[in-house]
Amino acid sequence: SAGIPEKVTDIKEGTFAYCRSLAVLTLPEGVKEIGFGAFVDCKALTQVILPESVLAIGENAFAGCDALRRIAIPAGVARLEENTFSSCKALTQVVLPERLNRIGESAFWYCGSLKSINLPAGLTYVGENAFSGCCSLTGICLPDGVTYIGRNAFSGCASLTEIALPGRIARISDGVFLD
- At residue 2, the pLDDT reads 66
CA angle 164, 107, 147 (to 5 degrees): 40
- At residue 139, the pLDDT reads 94
- At residue 169, the pLDDT reads 87
How far is Cα of residue 55 from the mean position of the Cα atoms in its chain? 14
HSE of 128, CA atoms in CB hemisphere, 13 A: 3
Bridge partners of residue 34, in order along the sequence: 11, 57
Is the confidence at residue 167, as pLDDT, over 90?
Answer: no
Q: How confident is the model at residue 170 (pLDDT cuts 50, 70, 90)?
A: confident
Q: What is the mean pLDDT of residues 7-12?
A: 94
Is the confidence at residue 1, as pLDDT, over 80?
Answer: no
Q: What is the pLDDT of residues 131-159, one digit of tens each?
A: 999 999 999 999 999 999 999 999 999 99
Q: What is the pLDDT of residues 33-79, one digit of tens each?
A: 999 999 999 999 999 999 999 999 999 999 999 999 999 999 999 99
pTM, to two decimals: 0.95
Q: What is the mean pLDDT of residues 99-109?
A: 98
| Mean per-residue pLDDT over the chain, rounded | 95
Q: How confident is the model at residue 168 (pLDDT cuts 50, 70, 90)?
A: confident
